[in-house]
């Protein structure tokens, strides 16, 4: 913390492309190189700075005063570039405008508020797991479990109508691709932007939402003046954008982890109360959200390196979550570890407002599986689905051995 | 804005009871001292929003609530202002007579029952020390480009904290009404005609709140927002160790004043997931089976605190000798 009046030095540079297919498929080598290069690295290909060590990433995520989100948390700098959609009132906003939407969602998604969902979601998980493992012992755990469960419970909790829910995952995929550069992944979605956005925007209207859901409660908050009526649909949109794909790929990370670490599955079966820790450990280990950008609000000096005001900084959450300076044997998935303090949900005032929803979904699903399944094993090559921001999946072929 | 120094202290957020150091103590008006609080190691403090208050735990164990009236863009200090209340319960007297620069006090996570909601126009009405939560609000209203006015009454000009700072910064948006010069606030002319595009924020003594509520009776619902500190008869905070029983694990640990419940139960082998360790994210919420938690978080609402069936062990503690947790 000493502030020696030294001349800032240039950061180490890298010409790596973190959004290239190879890096998205296997990010670990790039993460290792970036962590080793220094606390801040300059990525020449995109003209942005990057942080990959836990200490700096954690500190910068917390320091909203110097690392803002309002200029966009993707590569596009909203100071100069037009956002592809009206910016999020949460993810892409700073205090003071961030305050009211955050407060409303935080209260609606706080652990005490979710208690009313636990019983219902436990039953839904039992029913899904029962259907899947009774029908067959070999199946795709990505499509049948990870991809299915959030869509069974979350849209109902929000209060969406029955039609068009198949649009949720493609919309999220598109939104998370849009934080990266305009590469093939973004081009591949381009023809659906209008259609998917129109569907999602239509679901955010008061009339489209059931009266007993979280969406309706957001509108009720607007009726009380806690939000404006113009803000309400955008806050609902945040639930629909950030609340589905992330959880799906977080659950898939946990299932992949257990399919490849049978001894950890045994541990969970012996101590089912480890389900919450297990999910956070999977989130640490796989980091379903790999990266987010921030923008420096002022000249910031980090370990002697000057990051000029207005610079975009790419935060490697996934690299921070496997930083050996913070985690012992970081590449190991280990239920004996305390994963507290990982940045898989971010940190600070933008930390994932739906984290307790994700944990509840994971806890009930893993617990239901642990009651019925003795062993999960891979029976084919798991396939990734590439996304500029999400560490996501296409297929997890497994065989389960059910408990007698 | 800070332009040098490294980016904070990494994971150096303190766990356990937060003790802050009084960095500065300043007389800001007749009978009003402002305290600037900081971590002795310079760490960031938990974030807050205008309208928030903190629990101040005085050395002899009494707890008082004070609104934060500093600058949230300064992540390293909190500022509160305390009026000496001769007829009060002793907390303000202690602050005035005993606390000095360099002393340490316990502080709970900021909580906000008086948030600034979006509006095109605001009318802020302050009575005396009730200016404190409104001070960051007027700053925020200015940042948001809202049209706002501040009506600020006090017994005498000299008793009105921050009056010079306010008039210097905001000019004729600020209307100072010292009672000995100008009489009581003319609420009828300010509030007589309901304005649906205006939110009214009022903080001050009970009679002022009652008068503003009466004057706003014909205003649309939810336009008036008030802050009143109820003098809840909170038990003194214990400065002595207490026992925590982990019912499922079958162990009991002693929590000493220098450690958090979270640290203690982890030492006993409990796997409790946490994240912010500042009482703000809610990750470590733990069911309480017996005993009365002393809540210091910013997550649980008042009614949830009263029920007392769960707590955030990263910051919250125990009122009594013993807590039983479902761990």
Q: Do B283 and A356 touch (CB under 8 A)?
A: yes
| A79-100 pLDDT tens trace | 999 999 999 999 999 999 999 9
Is the same domain home to B32 and B74? yes
Give mean pLDDT, residues B70-88: 93
Is the same domain home to B248 and B203? no
What average pLDDT does chain A have?
Answer: 96
Q: Does B300 touch chain A (CB under 8 A)?
A: yes
What is the residue range of B221's domain?
A: 121-227
| Separation between Cα atoms, residue B50 and residue B142, nearest integer Å | 13
- The two structure tokens encoding residue B217: 């009776």
**CATH at residue B247:** 3.10.20.30
Contacts of B301 in chain A (CB under 8 A): 107, 112
Tell me if B49 is assigned to some domain: yes
Contacts of B281 in chain A (CB under 8 A): 351, 355
Q: Do A301 and B5 touch (CB under 8 A)?
A: yes
Contacts of A340 in chain B (CB under 8 A): 273-275, 277, 283
What is the complex's ipTM, to 2 decimals?
A: 0.93
| A338-361 pLDDT tens trace | 999 999 999 999 999 999 999 999
| Residue numbers of B between 115 and 154 with CB closer than 8 Å to A | 115-119, 140, 143-144
Contacts of B73 in chain A (CB under 8 A): 65
Is the same domain home to B37 and B68? yes
Compute the Cα dihedral for B134, B136, B137, B143 and give only its sign.
Answer: positive
Tell me if B3 is assigned to some domain: no
Is the same domain home to B140 and B182? yes
| Separation between Cα atoms, residue A370 and residue A267, nearest integer Å | 10
Distance from CA of A382 to the nearest CA of B (A): 29
Tell me if B232 is assigned to some domain: no
| A388-403 pLDDT tens trace | 999 999 999 999 999 8
Is the same domain home to B89 and B132? no
Query: What was the pLDDT predicted at B233?
Result: 46
Query: What was the pLDDT predicted at B91?
Result: 86
Query: What was the pLDDT predicted at B229?
Result: 62
Q: Do B4 and A3 touch (CB under 8 A)?
A: yes
Tell me if B9 is assigned to some domain: no
| B4-25 pLDDT tens trace | 222 233 333 333 358 899 999 9
Categorize the per-residue pLDDT at A6 as very low, low, confident or very high, splitting at 50, 70 and 90: low
Give Cβ neighbours of residue A37 (< 8 Å, ≥ 6 apart): A12, A14
Q: Are A282 and B275 in contact (CB under 8 A)?
A: no
Q: Do B3 and A227 touch (CB under 8 A)?
A: no
Q: Does B40 touch chain A (CB under 8 A)?
A: no
Share of chain A above pLDDT 70, in %: 98
Is the same domain home to B221 and B130? yes
Distance from CA of B267 to the nearest CA of A (A): 12
Is the same domain home to B160 and B218? yes
Per the structure, the count of domains in chain B is: 3
Contacts of B10 in chain A (CB under 8 A): 54-56, 58-59
* Whether residue B1 has pLDDT greater than 80: no
What average pLDDT does chain B have?
Answer: 90
Query: What was the pLDDT predicted at B236?
Result: 64
* Residue scoring higher pLDDT (B258 or A241): A241
| A125-150 pLDDT tens trace | 999 999 999 888 999 999 999 999 99
* Whether residue A49 has pLDDT greater than 60: yes
Query: What was the pLDDT predicted at B18?
Result: 80
Q: Do B7 and A60 touch (CB under 8 A)?
A: yes
Q: Do B273 and A340 touch (CB under 8 A)?
A: yes
* Whether residue B30 has pLDDT greater than 80: yes
Distance from CA of A100 to the nearest CA of B (A): 6
Contacts of A277 in chain B (CB under 8 A): 271, 273
Query: What was the pLDDT predicted at B230?
Result: 55
Q: Is A134 annotated as a binding residue?
A: no
Share of chain B above pLDDT 70, in %: 92
Token look-up 């309208």 returns B51
Contacts of A56 in chain B (CB under 8 A): 7, 10
Q: Does B196 touch chain A (CB under 8 A)?
A: no
Q: Which of B14-23, B39-48, B119-128, B285-294 has the lowest mean pLDDT?
A: B14-23
With 0-12 / 13-18 / 19 or more C-beta atoms within 10 angstroms meaning exposed / middle / buried, residue A135 is exposed
Q: Do A59 and B118 touch (CB under 8 A)?
A: no
Query: What was the pLDDT predicted at B70?
Result: 98
* pTM attached to this predicted model: 0.93
Q: Domains plus CATH for chain A? A: 13-402 (1.10.630.10)
Compute the Cα dihedral for B5, B7, B11, B13 and give only its sign.
Answer: positive
Which one of B195, B227, B259 terminates a domain? B227
Query: What was the pLDDT predicted at A403?
Result: 83
Distance from CA of A60 to the nearest CA of B (A): 6
| Separation between Cα atoms, residue A347 and residue A283, nearest integer Å | 14
Query: What was the pLDDT predicted at A5?
Result: 52
| B85-121 pLDDT tens trace | 877 767 899 999 999 999 999 998 999 999 999 999 9
Give mean pLDDT, residues B39-54: 95
* Whether residue A62 has pLDDT greater than 60: yes
Query: What was the pLDDT predicted at B60?
Result: 73
Is the same domain home to B132 and B159? yes
Tell me if B215 is assigned to some domain: yes
Q: Cα-flanking dihedrals φ and ψ of residue A285, to 5°?
A: -70, -35
Which among B1, B5, B285 has CB closest to A3? B5
Categorize the per-residue pLDDT at B228 as very low, low, confident or very high, splitting at 50, 70 and 90: confident
Categorize the per-residue pLDDT at A275 as very low, low, confident or very high, splitting at 50, 70 and 90: very high
Tell me if B282 is assigned to some domain: yes
- The two structure tokens encoding residue B132: 């404190």
């Amino acid at each position: 913390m000493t502030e020696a009046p030294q001349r800032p030095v240039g950061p180490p540079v890298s010409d790596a492309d973190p959004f290239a297919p190879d890096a998205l498929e296997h990010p670990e080598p790039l993460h290792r190189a970036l962590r080793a290069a220094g606390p801040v690295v300059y990525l020449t290909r995109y003209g942005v700075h990057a942080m990959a060590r836990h200490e700096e990433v954690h500190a910068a995520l917390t320091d909203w005063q110097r690392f803002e989100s309002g200029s966009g948390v993707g590569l596009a700098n909203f100071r100069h570039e037009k956002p592809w959609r009206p910016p999020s009132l949460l993810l892409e906003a700073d205090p003071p405008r961030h305050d009211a939407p955050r407060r409303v969602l935080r209260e609606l998604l706080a652990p005490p508020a979710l208690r009313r969902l636990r019983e219902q979601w436990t039953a839904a998980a039992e029913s899904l797991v029962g259907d899947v493992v009774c029908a067959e012992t070999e199946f795709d755990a990505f499509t049948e479990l990870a991809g299915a469960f959030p869509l069974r419970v979350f849209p109902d909790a929000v209060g969406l109508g029955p039609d068009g829910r198949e649009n949720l995952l493609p919309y999220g995929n598109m939104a998370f691709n849009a934080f990266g550069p305009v590469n093939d992944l973004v081009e591949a979605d381009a023809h659906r932007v209008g259609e998917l956005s129109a569907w999602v925007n239509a679901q955010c209207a008061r009339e489209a939402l059931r009266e007993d859901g979280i969406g309706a409660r957001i509108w009720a908050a607007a009726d009380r003046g806690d939000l404006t009526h113009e803000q309400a649909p955008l806050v609902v949109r945040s639930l629909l954008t950030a609340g589905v794909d992330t959880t799906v790929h977080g659950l898939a990370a946990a299932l992949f982890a257990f399919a490849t670490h049978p001894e950890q599955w045994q541990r969970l079966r012996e101590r089912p109360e480890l389900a919450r820790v297990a999910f956070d450990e999977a989130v640490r280990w796989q980091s379903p959200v790999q990266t987010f950008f921030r923008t420096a609000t002022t000249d910031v000096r980090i370990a002697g390196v000057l990051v000029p005001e207005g610079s975009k900084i790419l935060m490697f959450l996934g690299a921070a979550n496997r930083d050996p300076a913070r985690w012992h044997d970081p590449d190991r998935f280990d239920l004996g570890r305390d994963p507290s303090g990982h940045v898989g949900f971010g940190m600070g005032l933008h930390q994932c407002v739906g984290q307790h929803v994700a944990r509840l979904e994971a806890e009930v699903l893993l617990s239901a599986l642990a009651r019925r399944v003795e062993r999960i094993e891979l029976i084919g090559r798991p396939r990734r689905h590439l996304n500029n921001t999400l560490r996501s999946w296409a297929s997890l072929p497994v065989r389960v051995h059910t408990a007698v | 804005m800070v332009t040098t120094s490294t980016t904070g202290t990494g994971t150096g957020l303190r766990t356990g009871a937060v003790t802050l150091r009084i960095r500065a103590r300043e007389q800001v008006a007749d009978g009003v001292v402002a305290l600037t609080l900081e971590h002795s190691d310079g760490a960031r403090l938990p974030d807050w929003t205008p309208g928030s208050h903190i629990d101040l735990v005085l050395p002899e164990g009494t707890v008082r609530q004070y609104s934060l009236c500093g600058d949230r863009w300064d992540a390293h200090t909190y500022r509160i202002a305390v009026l000496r209340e001769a007829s009060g319960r002793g907390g303000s007297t202690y602050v005035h007579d005993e606390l000095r620069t360099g002393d340490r006090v316990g502080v709970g996570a900021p909580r906000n029952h008086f948030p600034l909601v979006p509006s095109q126009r605001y009318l802020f009405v302050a009575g005396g020390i009730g200016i404190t939560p409104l001070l960051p609000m007027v700053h925020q209203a200015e940042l948001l480009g809202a049209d706002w006015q501040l009506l600020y009454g006090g017994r005498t000009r000299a008793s009105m904290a921050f009056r010079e700072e306010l008039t210097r910064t905001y000019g004729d948006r600020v209307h100072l009404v010292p009672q000995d010069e100008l009489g009581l606030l003319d609420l009828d002319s300010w509030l007589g005609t309901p304005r649906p595009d205006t939110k009214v924020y009022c903080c001050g003594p009970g009679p002022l709140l009652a008068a503003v509520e009466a004057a706003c009776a014909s205003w649309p619902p939810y336009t008036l927002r008030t802050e009143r500190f109820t003098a809840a008869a909170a038990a003194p905070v214990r400065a002595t160790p207490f026992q925590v029983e982990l019912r499922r694990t079958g162990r009991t640990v002693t929590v000493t004043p220098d450690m958090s419940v979270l640290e203690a139960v982890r030492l006993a082998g409990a796997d409790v997931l946490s994240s912010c360790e500042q009482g703000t994210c809610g990750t470590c919420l733990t069911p309480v089976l017996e005993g009365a938690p002393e809540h210091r978080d910013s997550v649980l609402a008042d009614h949830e605190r009263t029920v007392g069936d769960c707590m955030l062990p990263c910051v919250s503690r125990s009122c009594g000798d013993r807590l039983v947790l479902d761990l």
